[in-house]
Amino acid sequence: MTMMNVDLQSAPPVLEARDLSVYYGKTCAVNSVSLNVGRNQVTAIIGPSGCGKSTFLRTLNRMNDFNPSVRTEGEVFCRGKNIYASGIDATEIRRSIGMVFQKPNPFPKSIAKNILWGLKINGMLNGNGDEVVERSLKQAGLWDEVKDRLNDSALNLSGGQQQRLCIARAIAMSPSVVLMDEPCSALDPRSTARIEDLINELATQYTIVIVTHNMQQAARVSKETAFFYEGKLVEFGSTQAIFTKPKNKKTEEYITGRMG
């Protein structure tokens, strides 16, 4: 049964990378990667440091645009639309593909304003936004901790709370995809466990792509896993298959801890 799942996409893809290559100047960081991200599930990207996984993730919402030395080739389709086609506004893309960063980066504003800012600047805010704030914070599992101090500075929250606020801020925009770039690497084990639970819960409603160099984390939260090595996509399949019966020798070496 697992063998079947390796080859079959369990859900129609929301994001499709086709022959995607990224260069920093002359250095190739991502080498013609093709990958489908299934709807309402967690796709993990693992691999040793410098394998291009974070660079790849940032191509998915065009966050590499800010680095002038980065050149991207290939195509990324989000719901059938190539986000690298000419005439596409990267701003629009980022509106529907949210991102959570390595280090929590809440705005130096109140908790409520953190949630509402994205909606406000995009003209997506109806009414005073109390509902969105409550819904997003509830989905991010933060509501009970902060409901009495929504107007306090977000910077007074603990690191784990700040990261959940960043997740709430991303999902407040009702994105098609949420990209997470090692969201737990700056957090303690307890906060990490909370975020992982949260990712599992969110996966029922959101499409999530998570980069991690914690293999156990990938095993715990994801349905499908992609293994990157030296800029190439070495193996991609169901998480269970990747961790129990890797086909590629490199994958096996990495997940058994002999490399990386």
* Residue ranges in contact with another protein by CB under 8 A: 61, 63, 66, 91-96, 98-99, 101, 103, 105-110, 117-118, 121-122, 153-155, 166, 169-170, 173
Q: Which is nearer to another protein, 178 or 219 (CB)?
A: 178
Closer residue to another protein, CB minimum distance, 109 or 213 = 109
CB atoms within 10 A of CB 126: 9
Burial grade of 145 (CB within 10 A; 0-12, 13-18, 19 or more):
middle
End-to-end C-alpha distance for the chain, whole angstroms: 30
**Can you tell me the distance from the alpha carbon of 48 to that of 54, in angstroms, rounded to the nearest whole number?**
11
Is residue 255 left, alpha or beta, with left meaning phi > 0 and alpha meaning psi from -120 to 50? Answer: alpha
* Tokens standing for residue 231: 């800029």
Q: Which is nearer to another protein, 18 or 79 (CB)?
A: 79
Amino acid identity, position 233:
L
Closer residue to another protein, CB minimum distance, 50 or 108 = 108
Give the nearer residue to another protein in terms of CB position, either 33 or 170: 170
User: In the bound complex, what is the minimum distance in angstroms from residue 70's beta carbon to another protein?
Assistant: 14
Residues in the chain: 260
User: How open is the CA angle 61-63-64, to the nearest 5 degrees?
Assistant: 120
Query: CB within 8 A of 138, min separation 6: which ones?
Result: none
Shortest approach of another protein to residue 91 CB, angstroms?
5
- How far is 178 from 100, CA to CA, in rounded Å? 7
CB of 84 to another protein, least distance (A): 17
What is the Cα–Cα distance from 91 to 194, expressed in whole angstroms?
Answer: 31
| Minimum distance of another protein from residue 177's CB (angstroms) | 12
Give min distance, CB of 180 to another protein, in A: 11
Question: Shortest Cβ distance from residue 120 to another protein (Å)?
Answer: 8
